[in-house]
Structure 1
Amino acid sequence: MVLKVGEKAPEFKGVDQNGNVIALSDFKGKKLVLYFYPKDNTPGCTTQACNLRDNYEELINKGFQIIGVSGDTVKSHKKFEEKFDLPFPLIADEDKLILEDYGVWKPKMFMGRSFIGIHRTTFLIDEKGFIKAIIEKPNTKNHTEEVLEVWETA
C-alpha cells in the first residue's frame, strides 16, 4: 500500500513502552509527527530519537505530538526510552500491522542482501487526520528542523 499526501491517515492502535494503548484518534485536533524507524538502540534510530527529544519542547510549543513506531517489543522500547530519556510514546508493532498499513514494511537492500524491513519514514498528520506530508529517508541528525520546514511548505 502506498499512501499519498492528502489522504486520510490509516487509523491505528498499538501499545507503547509504558503499556498505554495509543490510537490515531487520540490525536484529533493536534498535529502529529508519526515516525517509523527500523530498530531501537541502533545508531541512526538513536540519533533520530535524540534529535526529537532535544527539540521536544519546541515541537510541543508549536502544537506537535510525536509518536515513534517500530517492530521492537514493549520491553525493548522501555529500555530505549529509559536509556535516552525519550519523552514521547514508542509503539511496539510486533505484528507489523501499523507498519503494513503505512506502507513502510517492504523490501530493502543492505550490503547486497535483500530482505523485508522497515523503511525509515515520517508522516506529518494534520489536525483532521489527513497526511499533510511524507518524509522518506529523514535526516536523522536534523529531523526536527526537517519536520518544521516540511510542515511550513506542505
Structure 2
Amino acid sequence: MVETGDIAPDFTLRGTDGQLLSQYTLSDYVADGYVILSFYMNDFSPVCSEQMCDLDDIDLFQFEADVSMFGISPDYVYSHREYSRQKGITFPLLSDTQFEVSKAYGVYDPELESGVRRALFLVDSDRRIRHSWVATDNWEAWDHSTTEALKAALDTLRI
C-alpha cells in the first residue's frame, strides 16, 4: 500500500464528469496543483454515496483552482455518469474496472465483495502522497472528521 511520503503511481483511466466521457491522467493534473483521490466500492452503495456526496457538498475543494478531485471505483463509466447525475457529483468519477490503479495504491482487497477498500489520498505537484486514509471496515459509516483531516493536511501544505 502506498503511504504518506511515497510517490503516487501515475495512471490513466476513463471517466466522466457527469456529462462527457474522457481519459484522465494523474500526472496531467498534479502539474496544476494538488489532487485528491477518493477510492470507493461502487456507485449507489449507501456508505459510498455518503462519502462521495460529503466530499462534493462541503465546498472545501471544488472551488479551489489548485485542487482536483477524482472518485475511483470498479464501476463502468456509464454507471458513473448516471450516479453523478442522480447524486449531483461535480468532480470526475473514474473507472478502474480491472483494479489496476486500486492494486497500485494498495487498496485492492479480493476478500471484499467490491474488491476495493475505501480510501483517500492527497497528492502534491511532485506526485508525492501527502495524506492518506484507508477504511478498516468498508461498511463503517462515513466520518466527517476524515474530510476535515484531509482539509487540514492541504492547509498545512499551503503554509
**Normalized against structure 1, the TM-score is what?**
0.85
Residue of structure 2 in register with 1:59 after alignment = 61
Residue of structure 2 in register with 1:23 after alignment = 25
The change in CA–CA distance for 1:116 and 1:141 in structure 2 (over 3 A counts) is closer
Matches within 5 A, 1:73-112: 73-108=76-111
Structure 2: distance between partners of 1:71 and 1:60? 23
User: What is the letter of the counterpart of residue 83 of structure 1?
Assistant: Q
Structure 2: distance between partners of 1:108 and 1:151? 32
The change in CA–CA distance for 1:5 and 1:87 in structure 2 (over 3 A counts) is same
Structure 2: distance between partners of 1:61 and 1:87? 11
Q: 1:69 aligns with which of 61, 69, 72?
A: 72
Q: Could you tell me whether the CA contact under 8 Å between 1:47 and 1:141 is conserved in 2? A: no
Structure 2: distance between partners of 1:86 and 1:60? 11
The secondary structure found in structure 1 opposite 2:47 is helix
**Normalized against structure 2, the TM-score is what?**
0.82
Structure 2: distance between partners of 1:16 and 1:129? 20
User: What is the letter of the counterpart of residue 147 of structure 2?
Assistant: T
Q: Could you tell me whether the CA contact under 8 Å between 1:74 and 1:91 is conserved in 2? A: yes
* Bigger proportion of residues as strand: 1
Matches within 5 A, 1:110-149: 117-137=115-135, 140-142=142-144, 143-149=146-152
Gaps of 5+ in 1: 110-114
The change in CA–CA distance for 1:127 and 1:85 in structure 2 (over 3 A counts) is same
Residue of structure 2 in register with 1:11 after alignment = 10
User: What is the letter of the counterpart of residue 105 of structure 1?
Assistant: Y
Shift of 1:121: 0.7
Residue of structure 2 in register with 1:112 after alignment = none
Shift of 1:89: 0.5
Q: CA RMSD in A?
A: 2.1
Equivalent pairs: percent with the same residue? 27
Structure 2: distance between partners of 1:29 and 1:86? 21
Structure 2: distance between partners of 1:59 and 1:21? 21
Structure 2: distance between partners of 1:153 and 1:140? 23
